[in-house]
Chains A and B, each alone.
Chain A
Amino acid sequence: MTDSKYFTTTKKGEIFELKNELNSDKKEKKKEAVKKVIASMTVGKDVSALFPDVVNCMQTDNLELKKLVYLYLMNYAKSQPDMAIMAVNTFVKDCEDTNPLIRALAVRTMGCIRVDKITEYLCEPLRKCLKDEDPYVRKTAAVCVAKLHDINAQLVEDQGFLDQLRELLSDSNPMVVANAVAALSEISDTSPSPAAQMEMNQQTINKLLAALNECTEWGQIFILDALSNYVPKDDREAQSICERVTPRLAHSNAGVVLSAVKVLMKGMEYVGMESEFVTTLQKKLAPPLVTLLSSEPEVQYVALRNINLIVQKRPDILKHEMKVFFVKYNDPIYVKLEKLDIMIRLATQENIAQVLAELKEYATEVDVDFVRKSVRAIGRCAIKVEQAAERCVSTLLDLIQTKVNYVVQEAIVVIKDIFRKYPNKYESIISTLCENLESLDEPDARASMIWIVGEYAERIDNADELLESFLEGFHDESTQVQLQLLTAIVKLFLKKPTETQELVQQVLSLATQDSDNPDLRDRGYIYWRLLSTDPAAAKEVVLAEKPLISSETDRLEPTLLDELICYIASLASVYHKPPSAFVEGQALVVRKTQLPVRSASGEPGATGATESPVPQQAQPVQQQQSVIPSHDTAMGDLLGDLLSMDLNPPQQQMSMTPAPQQDMGGMDLLGGGLDSLLGGPSPVAGMPASQASMGGGLGDILGLGISSTTYVPPKQVWLPAPKAKGLEVSGTFSIRQNVRYMDLTLKNNAMAPMGDFAIQFNKNSFGLSPASALQVPSPLSPGQTADVTLPLGTNGPVQKMDPLMNLQVAMKNNIDVFYFSCLIPIHLLFTEDGQMDRKVFLATWKDIPDSNEVQKEIANPNQLDPKGISDKLQQSFIFTIAQRNVDGRDMLYQSLKLTNGIWVLAELKIQPRSPTMTLSLKTRALDVIPQVQQAYELIIANM
């Protein structure tokens, strides 16, 4: 008798029949009926119509029947919430059963009924179960908290379940601890609220380490993951954690092993680099990693993705284990490709012979993707290990001799790279390559071959014939090939001008007149003009020395690698992307941990004791850090501007004489954009201190130094390094001597020097724009930091932004263009001529309708007197026009003006010895009011 009988129904009216059976008096028949219902449910049939009948079966002593009904309830309670309430009583009763198994079962099932109405009935039983005398019940209840949090997070926080959960971290039973850890980490993963975060201190860590040895394998995974989030105080603590975690490497569960590896990899970062401890630990890491590779292929895949990170971070660990990465013919393809990647990373001078022999073997396999990657790998070996280059080249030649089409094509693509890495070394093989010209049908391979012919035109006797043969089908080629062909023929012409004049004219006319592709046309025009005006310059441009290609092209950026090392064993390590890039709801939490400490005034109204009558516009502070996504449509204008930056050619000495031909309109593309970017020495950068007297009047009155007159907020990170290939930009805004500046700190976290910096602003609400070019000491070498000031003008293009003060910035260096955005503090835009005449003030105040008046309580934490406040505000160009005393309260009347001519009038009521005061603002442009309020608070709190 098997269960398959439940799936065969011969009669019609199945539901009706089941209903009858469920209401049968016979226990046995009831149970059979419930089984049939469950079976239908599992294959996706809708049997929710039977809900009341099934729930009726719940009141039973038979454990099996009870379980089956529970199963059904969990599935359908959501669609029948009103009915589900009928079941609540039974649950509450079961939670007080004498049998702990029943108690646990009840609390477990309760949490699975995802109906809002029910949750409140569950709190009391759950609270009891969390304190149950039986550990089995406690550990089940711990998981139930996570379930409840998933349904109603607020309820869980209000009811104090999180605290109870944290108490369970020090439970005497290790399984309870493990489940509490698992529940807490799941809650903190999904909830942004700080209450849900798991705090780790030395005590909890010790508890966790103690529980680690005795709990189940799954519990060990959760505990290890929680441990990896802890930052040890000093290297001694790190060392002791590592020591206690090391035995987990010998566990038979691969998940435990890899999570332990994560804790150890992170731990090693906190122990000194050179210490002996690290060396021995590294030795211990190799065997378990190798063992993972003899498990199931799925485990191997995850292990290999992680090993890929580990060998980049600490190549020493696996340097002797090359052989375990050799590919077996029956490995799944995803394992093969990963193994190949790691083989190249581990390739060194000592083992290169072995690696090459293997790669050659793979190149004869059946799977085309794998063969291609193997051939590419040979090329990468040649570039990585110089001593082996010759061997690699001869291996590639052998492969070309096989005449297998895709092998030959792939080989030619990598040989091109080898030529670039080792110029003038292996050109003797060109003739062999040329033999295979006809068989090339992929654009990559054709383009590579054409490049080779063009680059070495002087050594190939029939270079012109070869290139001419490509020219016949010029319009059918892909763009890549067309561009390459154009350049190659120009090279050929410059090398052998006498014989190839006709050819070059042919290709130039093909490119400029008959092509629809703007890239191709523009390149054609540029060559044409160069050749016709100054052949010497053309030679310099076209035949210029090429920059070397780097030896390891696909390494991860070090900052990203460091981040990913923290995520070993998680999904992030499989994708090689930080979790914020792909996990939903995670972004918020992660960003919070990255944010630097903000000034206290960052949260408006937080200090105010009374309720504000005006609804505050909560400032999206986090926006300051957000990097503008490149697909943002609003970025169109900015991108347009940047296009001209990208066109900025490296050869600046290129003479740009006006075009003799008439049809050269396209050339203007290069003109305008360049001028603004390459602009001569900045007139403002580093303004000498002697000029201070100019704006000194103000400074003298206030008895302040010249360094800073207005309030300058602390620098914030605007562009974190991982988002900008290692460039970290932090900055703030300031006003000095009536000039507005953007103060930037650029830090190079990458491995290569950076240079060619430039900056552009998008249109913004107040027309801010750079007044001069960005002057960065170039090159900025790795690890170096540069402080830069960028004077700002206010006459740029205007477009209202949302939020109002948002400024989108593009920064370019020799690596890429990066986008970020920041918020402009509004007091940056207050002008020094913001003092209104008294009469005008009165008239204006009356003129502006009362509906435009906005009142707000702001803090006066230092309880300054009116004089102090007005002095302070004046430094930031908020001018006091009049002052009077009404009923013991001081009233200050003030005015300020923004760069775009908006006036804002203010009335400030100051109660002596009160921590708050009332600010009423009146202006015609209501949009700026929240910002001005914030500026008041900032200035008063910070100076």
Chain B
Amino acid sequence: MIHSLFMINSAGDIFMEKHWKSVISRSVCDYFFEEQQKANSPEDVNPVISTPHHYLIHIYRENIYFVAVCTTEVPPLFVIEFLHRVVDTFTDYFGDGGESAIKDNYVIVYELLEEMLDNGFPLATESNILKELIKPPNILRTVVNTVTGSSNLADTLPTGQLSNVPWRRAGVKYTNNEAYFDVIEEIDAIIDKQGSTVFADIQGVIDCCVKLSGMPDLTLSFMNPRILDDVSFHPCVRFKRWEAERVLSFVPPDGNFRLISYHVGSQNMVAIPVYVKPNISFREGGGRFDVTVGPKQTMGKMVESVVITCAMPKVVLNMNLTPTQGTYTFDPVAKVLTWDVGKINPQKLPNLRGNISLQSGSPPPESNPAISVQFKIQQMAVSGLKVNRLDMYGEVSKSSPKKSFTFEKYKPFKGVKYLTKAGNFQVRT
């Protein structure tokens, strides 16, 4: 199981350590540093490192390496998933999981880590349970705390840990009941020089914001559930109902959560909403850069927030370009060109062109850089997935003194939003 955790920042300082069993000397991190030296970039450090007595498994997020130390044979994915959950929790608590946030909230971080693992076994990782145990910091509470001398730590039992639905706490009450669903789809694609699709698939999620009193029981059905053949569910979804009727039936957690994530495979045709016409050439001492973006299969929707980034070869000194719309920047240290295009107007296609200057004396690069594209399209799910209806059952006002034990239909606000955006969308040039 997980023995210890070290957090290492980009400067190579171990700024936090936590041991769930006996203390392991920080010198064990030397093996990690050794491996880190071999890597060309911070992301390239192999996540599973073996040393004579320990196994180091780490993730790299927010410019921090979270290095877990194990002494026995453990499932590495368990460790990796857990570490990601730790960072997610930090982000949830402090707004971001970066080094300064961790340092600013040292005691909470330590308390959180203590609650999340016991002797290397996961204890409480659900955000609602943790929040019951350890209150997240906010300005009001810190002020109150300093005045009254109370603390972030709750004195109550984490009731959720004992219930059959550990993801939901009991006794939730809202004056305005609401349930919102966001269907968000990301297109991962590789497009080749000629503009044809080498590979494309869709990663979709349904994120929910459910604020309902009591113990609601929801049913979500789709117009075309056949699209969803590769899905991962939040533990609250009843798998049997899905198998039998293709509807999502669940008692939702309170607040924001991810209901399902799904994957529409490369066997299906994926509509590519934008095209990029790149024309990049290098010669001795310089080169030409000319890129045009345009909409392709957008079903009449507007393509927004288009950003084009291109990691130029190391020998590029500077770029002198003119955009027809939006702004561009070239970072001469990281050699990254970023062009913030904005909306695409089909009548007047955005274009960026100009000259590239290379370091004098060095030969022109062998290959052209790949371009990665970001965009957003509102009110469209590119897979065609559509929510049919949402039904809610369950009691609302059990605790109301006047009509105790009466059951009442929810009358909440509900809504579904669709969004398509680029995931890992690459164009080879």
Contacts and interface: CB of A to CB of B under 8 A. Distances in A.
Interface stretch (A579-587, A645-653, A773-781, A785-793): A579-587
Interface residues of B, number: 97
Nearest to B423: A294
B38 to A, nearest CB: 10
B84 A296 contact: yes
Contacts of A43: 15-16
A931 interface: no
Interface in B107-150: 107-108, 110-111, 114, 118-119, 121-122, 125-126, 142, 146, 149
Contacts of A797: none
B223 interface: no
Nearest to B152: A64
Interface in B52-105: 53, 55, 57-60, 71-78, 80-82, 84, 103-105
A333 B266 contact: no
Nearest to A292: B77
A1 B140 CA distance: 11
Contacts of A3: 103-108
Nearest to B164: A214
A144, A147, A329, A402 — most chain B CB neighbours (10 Å): A329
Contacts of A582: 50
Contact of B162 (A35, A135, A298, A329): A135
Interface string A356-372: 00100100111100000
B73 to A, nearest CB: 5
Interface in B173-190: 188, 190
Given A294-B263, A298-B80, A334-B44, A250 B232 contact: yes
A288 to B, nearest CB: 7
A418 B114 CA distance: 58
B298 interface: no
Nearest to B201: A324
A575 interface: yes
A320 B267 contact: yes
Contacts, number: 239
A40 to B, nearest CB: 10
B170 to A, nearest CB: 15
Contacts of B111: 67
Interface residues of A, number: 103
A424 interface: no
Interface in A104-157: 108, 111-112, 114, 134-136, 140, 143-144, 146-147, 150
B142 A218 contact: no
B424 interface: yes
Given A136-B161, A296-B59, A402-B366, A332 B44 contact: yes
B269 interface: no
B22 A71 contact: no
Contact of A39 (B106, B192, B267): B106
Given A114-B22, A298-B80, A328-B426, A250 B162 contact: no
Contacts of B149: 27-28
Contact of B18 (A7, A42, A146): A42
Contacts of B162: 134-136
B337 to A, nearest CB: 15
A259 interface: yes
B80, B84, B192, B229 — most chain A CB neighbours (10 Å): B80
A156 to B, nearest CB: 14
A99 B157 CA distance: 8
B26 interface: yes
B31 interface: no
Contact of B59 (A175, A298, A334): A298
A252 B73 contact: no
Contacts of A727: none
Interface string A364-384: 111100000000000000000
Nearest to B1: A186
A339 to B, nearest CB: 12
A3 B16 CA distance: 13
B105 to A, nearest CB: 6
A298 B106 CA distance: 26
A251 B232 contact: yes
B301 interface: no
Contacts of A68: 107
Contacts of B106: 3-4, 6-7, 39, 42
Given A2-B105, A287-B265, A250 B74 contact: no
A38 B76 contact: no
Contact of B74 (A1, A27, A571): A571
Interface in A253-294: 253-255, 257-259, 287-288, 290-291, 294
B114 A67 contact: yes
B109 to A, nearest CB: 8
A8 to B, nearest CB: 11
A31 B47 contact: no
Contacts of A179: 121
Contact of A252 (B161, B230, B232, B266): B232
A254 B107 CA distance: 30
A251 B230 contact: no
B80 A296 contact: yes
A329 B198 CA distance: 14
A583 B73 contact: yes
A297 interface: yes
Contact of A298 (B47, B118, B265): B47
B155 interface: yes
A607 to B, nearest CB: 37
A255 B114 contact: no
A221 interface: yes
Contacts of A254: 77, 80-81
A217 interface: yes
B347 interface: no
Contacts of A324: 199, 201, 265-266
A310 B158 CA distance: 41
A183 B71 CA distance: 15
Contact of A250 (B20, B114, B125, B231): B231
B121 A182 contact: yes
Contacts of B271: none
B142 A1 contact: yes
A161 interface: no
Given A63-B153, A216-B125, A250-B239, A290 B230 contact: yes
A593 interface: no
Contacts of B398: none
Given A101-B157, A297-B43, A571-B73, A221 B78 contact: yes
B44 A247 contact: no
A78 B188 contact: no
A830 interface: no
B313 A44 contact: no
Contacts of A258: 75, 77
A820 interface: no
B234 A252 contact: yes
B258 interface: yes
Contacts of A584: 53, 71
Contacts of B19: 75
Contacts of A108: 118
B388 interface: no
Interface in B343-386: 366-367, 370, 372
8 contacts: A140-B118, A217-B81, A217-B125, A252-B235, A254-B80, A301-B46, A366-B367, A367-B40
Interface of B: 1, 15-23, 26, 39-40, 43-44, 46-48, 50, 53, 55, 57-60, 71-78, 80-82, 84, 103-108, 110-111, 114, 118-119, 121-122, 125-126, 142, 146, 149, 151-153, 155, 157-158, 161-162, 164, 166, 188, 190, 192, 198-199, 201, 203, 229-235, 239, 243, 258, 260-261, 263, 265-267, 311, 313, 366-367, 370, 372, 424, 426, 428
Given A114-B21, A255-B77, A326-B199, 4 more contacts: A3-B108, A43-B16, A252-B261, A259-B75
- What 5 pairs between A and B have smallest CB-CB spacing? A287-B230, A364-B367, A2-B104, A64-B153, A218-B122
